[in-house]
Amino acid sequence: MAAGPRVCILFADPENRPSCKGSWRPVGYVVRRLDVVRMTTGDLRSRGARGFELVIEGRPVGKGRPRHGRGRTWTPERTVLAEREVRAAWQAAGSPRIEGPIVVDLALVVTRPRGHFTVRGDLSAEGRRHPLPHRQKPDIDNALKLVCDALNDCAWRDDVQIVDARVTRRWGEWSHSRLTVSDAGDGS
């Protein structure tokens, strides 16, 4: 029997410094349930917005197109498995649910190809020519669609509740997706 995902659940203390409950394992999910989500919009903190953050390890995946054949329609298996991973990380975070308008921030972090480095480990000319991963999959709109659809009827009633979304893709040491969800407040 395969072992389940390895989880480290981090809770924000009153001074917003995360502390780990349990032992840290470098493989699996890193999950944080936050009392205050620090967003780029800054004004959410002053409103006392509540939310959560999920870090899903592994290469980011976009939602695949439905397939048709032999009189039926199905979702590609890679999409189904990726949606399960997102829901498993959400459940490991304690299954938080947000009602009302929602702000979503999704960061896709991908590793640089080997050709971007020299033998010594420095950035090569090719790596310097590509400071941003503009040629890397998945498309950011498909990655956002996968996460939003995976958390429908889980973290929120429907993804129509999302009133503000920000998606970024950047280089990193290890491939993962970081999803930050927070309450949008009263909109004023």
CATH superfamily of 7-183: Holliday junction resolvase RusA (3.30.1330.70)
Q: Any idea what the Cα angle at residue 56 is, between residues 25 and 185, rounded to 5°?
A: 120
**For the chain, which residues make up each domain, given as ranges?**
7-183
Q: One digit per residue, pLDDT tens: the chain, 188 residues?
A: 344 333 333 333 333 333 333 333 333 333 433 332 333 333 333 334 488 999 998 999 999 999 999 999 999 999 999 999 999 999 998 899 999 999 999 999 999 999 999 999 899 999 999 999 988 889 999 999 999 999 999 999 999 999 999 999 999 999 999 999 999 876 55
Distance in Å from the first CA to the final CA of the chain: 51
Q: How far is CA 14 from the centre of its chain?
A: 24
- Collapsing DSSP to helix, strand or coil, 83 comes out as helix
